[in-house]
A = this chain, B = another copy of it.
Amino acid sequence: MRLWLHSGGAFREAGDEVRDFLGATHRVLFVPYAIHDLDDYLEKVRGLMEPWGFTVDSTHETDDPQAAIADAEAIFVGGGNTFRLLDRCIAMDLMDPIRERVAAGVPYMGSSAGSNMASPTIMTTNDMPIVYPPTFEALDLIPFQINPHYVDTDPESTHKGETREQRLNEYHEMNELFVLGLREGSLVRREGDEVELRGTIGARLFRQGQEAEEYVPGDRLDFLLDA
C-alpha cells in the first residue's frame, strides 16, 4: 500500500515530494468533493500540478466515477470540509472502490480532509459539521488518526475556545487510536510496512494517557502500523 498524507496548508511547496512519491506516474485522478465549487477547485489543482508535470482528471467530470477510480493510476483526495467529503463519497458509493484500488497498490494522495479520509474515522478533523454523514468511519487505510493543520498552543492567546491539544485530549477521553498532528508542511508517506515523516516541519503524536511526543522529518514511524 502506498500513501502520501499531507497536512494541508503548504501543498503549493510540495511539488518535489509529490513527484518523488508518484515517480513515473504522471496522471492523477482527483476527488474534489470536500469543496462546494468542483470546477473551480479542479482548475486550481490543475494550475498547481500541471506545472509539476501531471495530468489531472476529476471524478466529477466523468459519468462513471467508480469506473474512473477502477482505472486510476493515482488517486488524490483534496481538502475542504471533511464531513461533506465523506458524505458525498458514501452517497456516490466511492468508498469501497477507492479502498480496493489502494489495496491493489494504486498510490493514494490526501491533503487535509483527504488525509482525514485515509484515517479510520473523521473524528480528528478540524472542520465544521455542516452535513450529517451516515457514519464517521472513513477509508481506514492506516490504523491511526491524522489531525491536519496541527497548530501548537499559543501561550499568549486570550481566546478561551479549546486549543488543538485540548481537542485531541477530548478525543482520547472517548477513543483509543493514536493521533498524529501534522503541522502545515509535514506529511507521512507509507510504503507497505514502512511509514516515514517527511516535509518541512515536524509532527506531534498524541496517545491516550501519555505525554505527546515530537517527531521530525526523516523519522520512521513504522510502529504506528502496529498500534
Q: Residues of A with Cβ closer than 8 Å to B?
A: 8-10, 36, 80-81, 83-84, 112, 122-132, 135-136, 148-149, 151, 159-162, 167-168, 170-171, 173-175, 184
Contact = CB atoms under 8 A, between A and B. Distances in A.
A5 to B, nearest CB: 16
Tell me how many chains of this kind the complex includes.
Answer: 2
A130 to B, nearest CB: 5
Which secondary structure dominates where chain A touches chain B?
A: loop
A161 B174 contact: no
Contacts of A174: 36, 84, 130-131
B132 A128 contact: no
Nearest to A124: B128
A26 B112 CA distance: 48
3 pairs of A and B residues whose beta carbons are closest in the complex: A9-B160, A149-B161, A36-B173
Contacts of A9: 159-161
B128 A167 contact: yes
Contacts of A149: 159-161
